[in-house]
Homo-oligomer: A and B are copies of this chain.
């Protein structure tokens, strides 16, 4: 099939947000997306971008995205975090996810990172099988912890 991967530009952000929302629905968190197109533009394309975004597109538009940024491991050193790897539902199984991940790993390797990290829902077996087929280690004993915006405010009030 015919698709290409390129670095995102500001004008892609409406389609990028659409894919972020599509994944949130799949992850049973459809009300969790509070970010706007304007946020993505200002956060990703300012003087100090907070993330790097790749898009996979065919003649009809953007069908997949990868969003990443630098992290740091106190065991290994500089690492790269893959915040989102999303392929729109009806276009899965055509190599778009692999093509995007190839670019992410190539980019991480060019930076010399010691690790590439991401997160996965433990019931998302197709994603887990895909990641494991690529050599990733899904660490089922490590859980993600969030102190959300409201909890931060409560915490501050009680210090």
Binding site for B on A (CB under 8 A): 20, 24, 29, 32-35, 39-40, 43, 50-51, 67, 69-78, 81, 83-84, 102, 105-106, 108-109, 113-123, 131, 134-149, 151-156, 159
Contact = CB atoms under 8 A, between A and B. Distances in A.
A119 B146 contact: no
A136 B143 contact: no
Given A34-B114, A139-B143, A144-B119, A83 B73 contact: yes
A120 B106 contact: no
B143 A140 contact: yes
Nearest to A51: B72
B119 A135 contact: no
B84 A72 contact: no
B156 A143 contact: no
A77 B39 contact: yes
B139 A145 contact: yes
A136 B145 contact: yes
Given A77-B35, A83-B73, A122 B146 contact: no
A146 to B, nearest CB: 5
Nearest to A49: B72
Contacts of A154: 135
B141 A142 contact: no
A68 to B, nearest CB: 9
Nearest to A17: B74
A137 to B, nearest CB: 5
